[in-house]
Structure 1
Amino acid sequence: MMTRLALALLLVSAPNQSFAFYLTGIRLQELCSQKNMSLELDSMLNVYMMGIVDSTAPIVEAMRPFCIPEGTSAKKVTEAVCKHLTDHPEGRSHRAGSLAATALLQTWPCR
């Protein structure tokens, strides 16, 4: 909860920053590829990924697009999505949320 609040405050307080209506895979890959990633950026990526995971929570289990095992860390989810973006550069112009969902489906399909 505290991390999400910090992210919201970061986004609101960004001076003269213009945000697109959605994050693209190109920008997400740039973030994933950062060398010596700051704690803030690492946290932001993890929160973004967990937001995608949380968005499926209301969906009946039998209809969920992916099934991440209980206890999987946000870091592991982020690593899976970042790996997918590296392995599939052809789709990076699409929305990051859709690409992340695809990565999670391929990594943790429901059986």
Structure 2
Amino acid sequence: MTRWRLATLIILTCPSAANAQNSTRFLSGNELYDSCTQKSSHSIGYVEGVVDADLSATLGYCIPVGVRADQMRDVVCRFLEAHPESRQEGAQNLVRGAFIQVWPCK
């Protein structure tokens, strides 16, 4: 992972003091969706961070070999676009939900 992506991931996953008191999640689906609609590199960094964190666990999705980070981001952004009723939830679980829907393990 390049340094700028790592820095972006760290910035995105550091909750503000107010959010830390009111929530256990780092980023909401609404915040990630905003990043998607702005074509921000933050969305790619966040999605990559979720995938990296999940590599050692079996969470119901299996991303095919050769899928690029921008493809993963596109899948997540389309999922968030299609499910506005869920965007208040934690972004990490929404990323996983998008991947389970598109790339379920067989």
| TM superposition score normalised by structure 1 | 0.75
* Paired position in structure 2 for 1:101: 96
Q: Is contact 2:62-2:105 (8 Å) kept?
A: yes
Greater Cα offset, 80-89 or 17-26: 17-26
1:72 matched to 2:64? The reply is no
1:3 is matched with 4
Match of 1:54 among 25, 44, 52: 52
Give structure 1 stretches of 5+ with no counterpart: 12-16
CA apart distance, 1:26: 0.9
Structure 1 vs Structure 2 CA RMSD: 2.3
* Matched residue type, 2:54: T
Q: Please identify the structure whose Cα radius of gyration is greater.
A: 1
Aligned residues: 97
Partner of 1:29: 33
Give percent identity, aligned residues only: 34
Q: Distance in 2 between matches of 1:8 and 1:32?
A: 15
Instruction: Give unpaired runs (5+ residues) of structure 2.
Output: 21-25
